[in-house]
Structure 1
Amino acid sequence: MTQSYTDEFVDNSQLAGTPRQGWLSTLAKAPASEVLRLWEGLVAPESQVLRPAETGMVMVRGRTGGAGNPFNLGEMTVTRCAIRLATGETGIGYVAGRDKAHAYVAAVADAMMQSSVWHDQVRDGLIEPLQQASDARRDVLSRKAKATQVEFFTMVRDRKA
């Protein structure tokens, strides 16, 4: 299931359910090595760091059976960063773990995706390749799971006595 990012850029004020949410998710979930490798092929505009990359903890919540009452599962390390491009777009990056370079690149890419000037370059050179790699990994896992699937059936007997 590949997510498509439109040719339109998104205003910073738009929230959940937007293409921005999709590309932020893609950037956050992608392995740092892939993000940094693809980032090397892009030209980044001048930017100002608003919040330097910093590492902290967040509480991860869970639900019993996926739908039950929420409970605190445990803490997780995250790194966040915020930047502003010279043209005014603000970008944020939140990633799991302690990789400050990954968070910084995610923030710059987020800001560039909001710019009509940089949007296509980042979408084609970073976001879509990351999404395709994610889809490929998901397909491999799905095939492995399907190969081990067990199908149960019950035999019904007619009990006429």
Structure 2
Amino acid sequence: MVADSDGSPDQADRAQWMRTLALADPVWLADRWQAWPDRPGFVHVRAPETGLVLVRGRMSGTGDPFNLGEMTMTRCSVRLDGGAVGHGYVRGRSHRHAELAALFDALMQDPDRRAAVEREVIAPARRSHDRHQQAVAAAAAATRVEFFTLPREHT
């Protein structure tokens, strides 16, 4: 992870761990939060709220963008007692998931806690998601059908 001169994480690293938190199992995140030593107090800067976001797509991944549809999303922002602010954005309507993502994002803002959060929460969640993606890919590959054309003889 690259840190700026003030010790804050770089934007690309933060985007990666926020993605990991958004994709993590909310029950697992709740367990990690309950087991977290010295959980700080917090207040909601923005209480969890659910709304719609516009999803855009591209034909074949490279064409002109078009509006694909809308998706339900929940967001939350928290401020820890130490002043760190965290944000959580998750797919769906889980207010608790968005709050937990925001809490762990805020903990990642603290240079003294960042390594522990990375080791205990972010890395295991990333590994779990990767294993799930591999299982889905393997299941899809098992149902793959290969089409081929036999040459026709001209009579």
Task: Give the TM-score range, shorter chain.
Answer: 0.7 to 0.9
Tell me what 1:50 maps to. 45
Show the 5 A alignment for 1:7-156: 11=8, 14-15=10-11, 18-43=12-37, 44-151=39-146
CA RMSD in angstroms comes to: 2.5
Q: Deviations over 1:116-155 (max 9, x none)?
A: 2221222222111111110111111222233344456678
SS across alignment from 2:14: helix
Identity across matched positions, percent: 40
Give distance in 2, aligned partners of 1:7 and 1:132: 21
Do the aligned partners of 1:42 and 1:122 also contact (CA within 8 Å) in 2?
Answer: no
Taking CA–CA contacts closer than 8 Å with sequence separation of 6 or more, which of the two structures ends up with the larger relative contact order?
A: 1
What's the TM-score once normalised by structure 2's chain length? Answer: 0.82
Q: Deviations over 1:68-103 (max 9, x none)?
A: 121111111111111122222211000011111111
Do the aligned partners of 1:42 and 1:121 also contact (CA within 8 Å) in 2?
Answer: no
SS across alignment from 1:117: helix
Tell me what 1:159 maps to. none
Do the aligned partners of 1:42 and 1:125 also contact (CA within 8 Å) in 2?
Answer: no
SS across alignment from 1:94: strand
Gaps of 5+ in 2: none
Tell me what 1:3 maps to. none
Higher helix share: 2
